[in-house]
Amino acid sequence: MPSITSGRVLVTGANGYAATWILKELLERGFQVRGTIRSESKAAFVRNTFKSFGDKLELVVIPDATKDGAHDDAVKGVDAILHVASPTNLNPTDPDDVIPPAIQSTVSLLQSALKHRDTIKRIVLTSSVVALAPLAGPDDEPKVIDETMWNDAAVEHVREKGKDSNPRMVYPASKTLAEREAWEFWKRENEKLGGKLGWDLVTLVPPFILGPILNDITKTEQLNGPIQYFYFAVAKGIYQDDENALVRSGYQYIDVRDFAKAQVESLLKEEAGGQRLIVTGHEFVWQQFIDVARKYTDKIPRGRPEAYDPAKVVFQIKYNSEKSRRILGVQYRSIEETVKDTIEDYKIKGWL
């Protein structure tokens, strides 16, 4: 499919942490944007945040995104779709609370897109690196992960254990199954139509998404996922007695603003069509974040800077993002900028 350089883009879960930054990026680049939200009560903050763009932003209420036809009206007349919304419960007590909604909401959206394939040119689905491989433990052998890999281990675990599943395996299973279903849906429907489905598919596969908050999170109790990890690991110092967590185990992240750019670039770049793209910014250990944060506030614990030695950091998993860097060309912010801006955001919110 050709690149999408103008027109109307649908963004699902428009009031979410990453989605609000995506709205901003799209609007600033001149796109018309339609966002989906669960209730009208979620709309006021989004409208106020982007009021300077006037009628370039519209919001559509979809109370239950898992229902057949739920997205029919939302997809009418759009040129592209960025499917960002997904259940993010990382410690569920029941897999059925996470996995079926993740799959069904994706399928509902794709079925609606199928009905309007005359206008839609591209759909970009947000997946996660947990759909690539199981979470690694400190004793696992280091390995490099690329876009050809799938977290079948998490899926099999949940199928075997059901409600007795390890909660840490449920979210990875949901992301794996939802992304796989999207690719299978596209392949199946495209074959039925003799290769003339009309829209192509891209999946973006990020690690931790971190950075300042643009949406209506005002209390730390509202944090979840990676931004919750950042707050407790850096601002609250929960790893003060865990040297391995602070200075030995390495992770990867992408700044939420760079992730928003990657979303838009995946529309602009023709060669992104049909690709699964790992989008990672930088490798880190928590002590690096703490050391930078303490330049801008003295209200957080110091960690163990004397124990931090970059040469001794162990990355059980490294995600190879070479393909996305080549295709999308996103320039990633430094660790210094991400942490500084996040800490300044915390100060404004009264969290520090």
This prediction's pTM: 0.96
Instruction: Give 137's pLDDT tier (boundaries 50, 70, 90).
Output: low
Q: What is the number of helices (H) and of strands (E) in the chain? A: 11, 12
Distance CA 158, CA 97 (A): 13
pLDDT, average across residues 93-99: 88
CB neighbour burial string for 251-283, b if at least 16 within 10 angstroms, e if fewer:
bbbbbbbbbbbbbbbbbebeebbebbbbbbbbb
Instruction: Give 282's pLDDT tier (boundaries 50, 70, 90).
Output: very high
Using alpha carbons only, give the angle 201, 76, 279 rounded to the nearest 5 degrees.
30
Distance CA 81, CA 84 (A): 9
How much of the chain, in percent, has pLDDT values that exceed 70? 97
Q: Which of 28-37, 67-76, 100-109, 131-140 has the lowest mean pLDDT?
A: 131-140
Instruction: Give 2's pLDDT tier (boundaries 50, 70, 90).
Output: confident
Let me know: does 260 contact 21? Beta carbons within 8 Å: yes
pLDDT of the residue at 24: 98
CA 231 to chain centre: 18
How much of the chain, in percent, has pLDDT values that exceed 90? 90
pLDDT, average across residues 255-278: 98
> If DSSP codes are grouped into helix, strand and coil, which group holds residue 10?
strand
Residues near 207 by Cβ (< 8 Å), separated by ≥ 6? 128, 129, 251, 252, 253, 254, 280, 319
For 147-178, write each residue's pLDDT tens digit. Answer: 999 999 999 999 999 999 998 899 999 999 99
DSSP 316: S
Residue 145 has pLDDT above 70, yes or no: yes
Residues near 53 by Cβ (< 8 Å), separated by ≥ 6? 27
Q: Could you tell me the CATH superfamily of domain 8-347?
A: NAD(P)-binding Rossmann-like Domain (3.40.50.720)
pLDDT, average across residues 221-239: 95
